[in-house]
Amino acid sequence: MPDLDLPQRQLTDALMLTGFWYRALPADRIHRNHLYKATLLEIPLVIGRDRLGQPFALRDACPHRGMPLNCGRFDGENLECGYHGWQFDVHDGQCQLIPSLTADQKLKIDRIYAGSYACEEQDSFIWVFIPDPAPPAAGFAPRIEAPDAAPQIEKFTGKYKSAYLQAEMPVSIDHGIIGLMDPAHGPFVHQAWWWRTQRSIHEKKKNFEPIPNGFRMSAHTPSSNSAPYKLLRLYADADSITTTIDFVLPNLRTETIRAGKYWFSSLTTVTPITRSQCRIDVVAAWNLFRWVPFVPDLLKFVFAKFVEQDRRTMELQAEGLQHNPHLMLIDDADRPAKWYFQLKAAHLEAKRTGIEMKHPMPGPVTLKWRS
């Protein structure tokens, strides 16, 4: 009998995981000496670049009386709050000046901090590290450093092209992610003559294996019913084309296609903006078609179409979810979604107990579905 999870209520409180790097804004939109607003995990941020081009991220609320710092003045080094003129170093958030203090008032202003976040530029995006909630010391805590660098796209040669795409979805992070890893919606949502049609549905069998904090669809020859892969076959022997897809907490989906000396890599993230809103960012890098002028545009067009179809679907889904319907996850097409929820639960449990995370997958598994 197929494994069918009992209908369950939608989790209204889709937990957003802290202690990870998240993509905040596309790097090419952030200019020196300017301030930009962003929201990650319901945290308001002000993001910018100093006069040397180094990015920074601060909590968009002055530690004095909460004025949004993005309304302040920025000279490329310090940010001055628009209310009482307190100044903060944009990189570590440390207070530099309180204009109202008189010469004999000895307040130690270097103990005051605007909330500051570790920030890195990587593969077309400004990434921000969202630490676990710190003990309440608002206004007096220096920032928490990230334990590792922001995620990167794997590149296999020095020369490559890259592009990014983004779309906002009015659904929680969980629906955004399980929509991303869902193998069964392709023929219905992404129908197009150049991609695949409902008539091309056939049975698929894919091997999955556990990897740290996630799972991998093991290297395989891509689906025969997809046009981009047909294109790839112009470059390489069909049998030499392999694709590997990884999902890793909190929100990273990596796809790598290799065809001889050619490669295509993408890193897609679903970022929680608020509890009921997420954003999908796809960054792709490739060394294929580099010298054929219009192919990158074509590729971008195809991807943009896909992302828009997913966005539109989730927009419609959000209407249905408003009524808190019963939901179900079925075997095997929804198994990756179940792994996602199990991984998330295992991660939180490991954090709570301090005991090493127990991976929900016992070992390699083969899943079958039609798409």
Chain residues that interact with Fe ion, rule: CB under 5 A? 310
Rounded to a whole number of angstroms, the minimum distance from the CB of residue 305 to Fe ion is 11
Specify the residue, 69 or 343, whose C-beta has the smaller distance to ligand FES: 69
Rounded-to-10 torsion of CA 56, 124, 167, 70: 20
Q: How many residues bind ligand FES (CB under 6 A)?
A: 8
Q: What is the rounded distance in angstroms from the CA atom of residue 185 to the CA atom of residue 336?
A: 13
Strands across the sheet containing 55-59: 35-40, 43-49, 55-59, 116-117
65 binds, among ligand FES, Fe ion, none (CB under 5 to 8 A by kind): ligand FES
Bond from prior residue into 293 cis (ω within 30 degrees of 0): no
Q: Which residue from 343, 350, 346 is spatially nearest to 174, judged by alpha carbons?
A: 343
Do the Cβ atoms of 364 and 207 come closer than 8 Å? yes
Specify the residue, 80 or 334, whose C-beta has the smaller distance to ligand FES: 80
86 binds, among Fe ion, ligand FES, none (CB under 5 to 8 A by kind): ligand FES
Q: What is the rounded distance in angstroms from the CA atom of residue 174 to the CA atom of residue 12?
A: 10
8: amino acid identity, one letter? Q
Rounded to a whole number of angstroms, the minimum distance from the CB of residue 189 to Fe ion is 6
Rounded to a whole number of angstroms, the minimum distance from the CB of residue 81 to ligand FES is 3
Q: Is 84 in the site for ligand FES (CB under 6 A)?
A: yes
Neighbouring C-beta atoms of residue 347, cutoff 10 Å: 18
Q: What is the rounded distance in angstroms from the CA atom of residue 63 to the CA atom of residue 81?
A: 10
Q: Is 114 in the site for ligand FES (CB under 6 A)?
A: no
∠ CA 156-158-162 to the nearest 5 degrees? Answer: 80
Q: What residues numbered 34-73 form the site for ligand FES, per CB under 6 A? A: 62, 64-65, 67
Q: What is the rounded distance in angstroms from the CA atom of residue 236 to the CA atom of residue 56?
A: 43
Specify the residue, 26 or 85, whose C-beta has the smaller distance to ligand FES: 85
Rounded to a whole number of angstroms, the minimum distance from the CB of residue 83 to ligand FES is 4
Residue selected from 18, 26, 83, 305 as contacting ligand FES according to rule CB under 6 A: 83
Q: Is 88 in the site for ligand FES (CB under 6 A)?
A: no
Q: Is 81 in the site for ligand FES (CB under 6 A)?
A: yes
Rounded to a whole number of angstroms, the minimum distance from the CB of residue 228 to Fe ion is 14
Rounded to a whole number of angstroms, the minimum distance from the CB of residue 133 to ligand FES is 23
Rounded to a whole number of angstroms, the minimum distance from the CB of residue 100 to Fe ion is 55
Q: Which residue from 248, 251, 321 is spatially nearest to 279, judged by alpha carbons?
A: 251
Do the Cβ atoms of 13 and 324 come closer than 8 Å? no
Q: What residues numbered 210-269 form the site for ligand FES, per CB under 6 A? A: none
Q: Is 185 in the site for ligand FES (CB under 6 A)?
A: no
81 binds, among Fe ion, ligand FES, none (CB under 5 to 8 A by kind): ligand FES
310 binds, among ligand FES, Fe ion, none (CB under 5 to 8 A by kind): Fe ion
Q: Applying CB under 6 A, which part among 76-84, 173-181, 267-275, 346-354 lies near ligand FES?
A: 76-84
Specify the residue, 90 or 181, whose C-beta has the smaller distance to Fe ion: 181
Q: What is the rounded distance in angstroms from the CA atom of residue 141 to the CA atom of residue 287?
A: 45
Do the Cβ atoms of 23 and 271 come closer than 8 Å? yes
Do the Cβ atoms of 192 and 198 come closer than 8 Å? no
What residue ranges bind ligand FES (CB under 6 A)? 62, 64-65, 67, 81, 83-84, 86
